[in-house]
Structure 1
């Protein structure tokens, strides 16, 4: 085994040359080394950015979303009437409100944008702000002036209590019209909302969107977007919408000025992947140096990545992961393991500013981003590292935490002894009895409960192959437990020299039938050669340079696979009933044929010998006809006087008779020679007559 493992690991490098002809299989760390591409999760990075710069942003900028502007105008006017004219009758107040509603609905229609002052509804002096607002808006729409319309200047000069409902509106519309000064006007809009002026339409919140879209001062745009995201529910849309092109157009002087703003500097660290930022920020202290290290590492500049990591006050999850990546690349496995363990320790701490979500993994083959926690990739890498160190128990633990069923089955099946396997599955026994969770509405077969159950079944099949039937019974699913003891009892009877040859032959024949037809369920290997259903294993298909001879039932292996096809526990031991040829799929068929060969030799009754040899041929004739020919010759030569033997001699191959096919393709036991005689009578009714 010490020789086979390095060769096996070396062969993994050539794995992409193998042909895939199976359904999508779980990516493998053992065979692919790095099956996932790790990428920065920009949304998570933006969330961290908001936490990092929180102390640089105002915290009193939470605004309401508001309603439609038409509805808001009517609501504001109604509130003003009720506020200023409590002494009026309800009918009088309603008349004022209805007149304004009719006017404003028509005024904001599609037919006309502006109205004449003479068309304005009656508005007492207390409602002057509404009159001034309408007049100013008409001037703005009709004349597009270069200065603030005089009605609005007058409105803004009123005492605060006299302009409660239209101050926010005026500042917002000034920002919309005067784009060169929009930052000032939108700031005034939001300040007015903070001071308690009515903002029924949610204009303060809308001003953030328009400022990001039309603002010319990129530093102000970034700051206001961060301010909006930190205090309101924009789902990162404002920060994500800031155009990279707007930043790239800055000359070095403008860019350096942007870097000197602490909020903009942290924002550029995660959004500007160009070398310019990393070059210009080297002598400036900032908190997102680990993201610069990530981009440098992605570019293959490990020295630069280390420089940025050294700038950090303390390690972060991202910097620790990068250090582990560099250590693995340089072959420093002890350091890589140390850093990966440190990553897991940091990830266990609750720190909103440093979460594992900062990284996400993508399947290298499919290009699909996986939803799992990045810690699972760390567990997978540690599992691979432990395999290379030959610490298979530790490797199994890491692959189990990673949810890597394919790698876990490979380690437990190929590299662990049965005792080690049992010890491991007993350590996760609790999970096996936990309900399997759902993922996207279907059971998650890569969850710990599902994997624990699969491993128990794997251990049962492994124990059956090694003749440990008590262990097999302990872990075997209930529907197959009876078959274990039936098989064992038949084998014991077949080995009992005190019995007659026919009795022993019948027992071995019945055991062979169980092995032939239920061998996959009782003893199938998870990977090669059987590729137990539900796990198609690793690279099940054969190398292009390896060939299988269906006549001889043998493999001609290429040099690589001939070298690695050495002894593995439970696979290529001394040839007996435990042997599993590594390149012979459905290995249990061959073991069933071996039992049939023994049974045929023991049988004294010719018809029983004929039936057994017919069964032995059925085990091998499809995949190994040359080996099946042994049973054909025995059928003809040892049972020539039987009707079955004569028919086989005549047809020059195994006869296909429905009654006998039903028998040899079932696991119903044949209990006596009388049963054999009845079968032959049913198979050849005409001859018996």
Structure 2
């Protein structure tokens, strides 16, 4: 069932995300290629599913006691000297003698740390043998005298069991370390960097690492958690000798034992090494062997899945190399004719990523109906076949699964939002983007696509008024909180609706959706505007009301009337003019067509819900209110001059032409005021 590889031009290219000062993703600005791309893999999260951390069995009381004792010693930071004092007290030593022997041990440790190789440790005859032997071995080890270290630690292990309770684990572990050299940097260096004899010598350490774990399990002290560490070192020995399967199994055990970071780094290194030679005959043979082992197969598959999307757009060679490796691995897995294996969903995922769509579909037949990766890939295949309705249903299963966690969650919701958008289910798309934490996409739908009644109905149903938000700066949730904070986004959507209603001159409706403090500010602003237009009031009262409204709007205009996206960009606090969605959908995506393209209905809605043309339009509105206030004031009044100078100053830098009428009124109406004279002298507003 060999799959036909799609043309290189159509290959699933990892897509770059927006970059800049905290610019979030804008999925609605992306075309069909990204929607059809396989989801990214998350290596560490997937390894956690293969090798979850083990818990001590409740029934095994002996093992539980050993684990608890070692844990308590670690948490209490019990030192070697502390252990010695406890042992000496158990043996009945007098306190004076305990103090003296503890001093000898501290002196020996100081010599080792100081690298004073001319002064080997000297211990009294009544020092417990395991302490003297272990410290003398450590001195020799760090001095570089490995033969002596080997002799001391083996002598320690030959003591009766009840005389080596504290250092059996340490001695066995260090005998293994004598055979396995330190790593150079993080992960595992290339095997080619070591002589063959040195690699073979590493295998001699395997028995000691196994003995380390046996001793810890038998109840010997393991304060430093060396049983866990021994797994990684034993794996290293196997890996350097070409036994990758054994290495992978041990690293997975290391992960389950609690060393997640070290195990994940090492598993990546083993997988990377296996694929580096994938294009050679020997390398392909090695991969075929790994494909037959369930755990190795799963790790290598996850490694490739997690590599997609990691390379920058300019690193084309790295992307092509990964492409070739994925195709080779998918082909090897196909040739293996795997049946009834637990990871067919991941195999389908890889096949899809590599462009083997028929092979992906074949593996999906045996994948679980509840598997998140399987349903996600099923959705992608449905989209490719033109069945958007089925894709939407599958993505709903994906997003509702408790197995969808971490970085995959917002991406899945974005996929569902885009599918719903293409189906004209705009409210459903808004809900998906909200749940995924994609505020820029939410803002586009709420501000430009939904009619006001639809947005009001959505907010009333999904965004209840929240308390405790009054201390916020009402600009951009993206600046203040994590995008994934869904509650914050729902609060922000209420605020967006309030501003949209206010711009639509529906003040009574708008008031209910503003946060409480802004609600009071907005209500006062509306009352002042109405008072200014009330012809039954005295001119002075009207002028004061207009001016109060002008000053309030100048100070709070973004929060009261600003658009979330263009032209005001409240999303960025007005600091940046950037939002690619509307332009991309109107031009590029419309021309490209396909799954990422907007529908005719969407474009008609966007045209019908036009936003103000001028950026910071509310400043012009504030200036107009100031103009009306000044028009009700007497000529040659210092207060009139102040109003004209201030209101014109709000727009003079951004729009000198529009501000010119304020300057002219200032010099014509108030020529004898200080401000009027200064303006006339400068031929512009006073500084």
TM-score of the two chains, using structure 1 as the length reference: 0.62
| 1:113/1:474 CA distance change after superposition, 3 Å | same
1:514 and 1:137 mapped to 2: Cα distance?
A: 78
Post-superposition shift, 1:237?
0.9
| 1:659/1:395 CA distance change after superposition, 3 Å | farther
> 1:4 matched to which residue of 2?
none
| 1:684/1:155 CA distance change after superposition, 3 Å | closer
Matches for 1:143-158 after TM superposition, within 5 Å: 144=147
2:119 and 2:19 mapped to 1: Cα distance?
A: 71
> 2:330 matched to which residue of 1?
278
Post-superposition shift, 1:43?
1.4
1:324 and 1:656 mapped to 2: Cα distance?
A: 65
- 2:298 matched to 1:266? yes
> 1:110 matched to which residue of 2?
115
- 2:55 matched to 1:50? no
CA contact (8 A) 1:571 1:582 kept: no
Cα deviation per residue 1:155-184 (whole Å; 9 max; x = unaligned)?
Answer: 656653355455434433432246332111
2:40 is paired with a residue of what secondary structure?
strand
1:163 and 1:523 mapped to 2: Cα distance?
A: 77
1:51 is paired with a residue of what secondary structure?
coil
1:264 is paired with a residue of what secondary structure?
helix
> 2:125 matched to which residue of 1?
122
Matches for 1:160-171 after TM superposition, within 5 Å: 160-165=161-166, 167-171=168-172
> 2:29 matched to which residue of 1?
31
TM-score of the two chains, using structure 2 as the length reference: 0.62
> 2:447 matched to which residue of 1?
413
Matches for 1:376-525 after TM superposition, within 5 Å: 376-433=410-467, 435=469, 442-443=480-481, 447-476=485-514, 477-488=519-530, 493=535, 523-525=561-563
- 2:187 matched to 1:184? no
1:122 is paired with a residue of what secondary structure?
coil
- What runs of 5+ residues in structure 2 fail to find an aligned partner? 1-14, 180-200, 306-324, 588-599, 679-687
CA contact (8 A) 2:345 2:364 kept: yes
> 2:375 matched to which residue of 1?
320
Post-superposition shift, 1:620?
10
Matches for 1:226-241 after TM superposition, within 5 Å: 226-231=252-257, 233-241=258-266
1:622 and 1:110 mapped to 2: Cα distance?
A: 70
Post-superposition shift, 1:342?
0.6
In the alignment, which of 377, 383, 388 is matched to residue 333 of structure 1?
388
| 1:287/1:434 CA distance change after superposition, 3 Å | farther
Post-superposition shift, 1:47?
1.0
Post-superposition shift, 1:78?
5.4
2:544 and 2:130 mapped to 1: Cα distance?
A: 108
Cα deviation per residue 1:399-421 (whole Å; 9 max; x = unaligned)?
Answer: 33233333333323323332222
| 1:33/1:160 CA distance change after superposition, 3 Å | same
Cα deviation per residue 1:630-654 (whole Å; 9 max; x = unaligned)?
Answer: xx8xxxxxxxxxxxxxxxxxxxx97
Rg: which structure is higher?
A: 1
| 1:219/1:137 CA distance change after superposition, 3 Å | farther
| 1:378/1:541 CA distance change after superposition, 3 Å | closer
1:508 and 1:138 mapped to 2: Cα distance?
A: 89
| 1:197/1:529 CA distance change after superposition, 3 Å | closer
CA contact (8 A) 1:399 1:407 kept: yes
Post-superposition shift, 1:479?
0.8
| 1:89/1:330 CA distance change after superposition, 3 Å | same
Post-superposition shift, 1:356?
1.9
Cα deviation per residue 1:378-417 (whole Å; 9 max; x = unaligned)?
Answer: 3333333333333333333333323333333332332333
- What runs of 5+ residues in structure 1 fail to find an aligned partner? 1-15, 348-353, 361-373, 547-562, 573-579, 633-652, 662-677
2:623 and 2:96 mapped to 1: Cα distance?
A: 103
Q: CA RMSD in A?
A: 6.0
CA contact (8 A) 1:269 1:289 kept: no
2:560 and 2:422 mapped to 1: Cα distance?
A: 31
For structure 1, which segment, 292-301 or 331-340, has the greater mean C-alpha deviation from structure 2 after superposition? 292-301
Post-superposition shift, 1:256?
4.0
Post-superposition shift, 1:480?
2.1
> 2:664 matched to which residue of 1?
655
Post-superposition shift, 1:199?
4.1
Cα deviation per residue 1:74-106 (whole Å; 9 max; x = unaligned)?
Answer: 5666566555x54x6555666666667767866
| 1:396/1:246 CA distance change after superposition, 3 Å | closer
How many corresponding residue pairs? 558
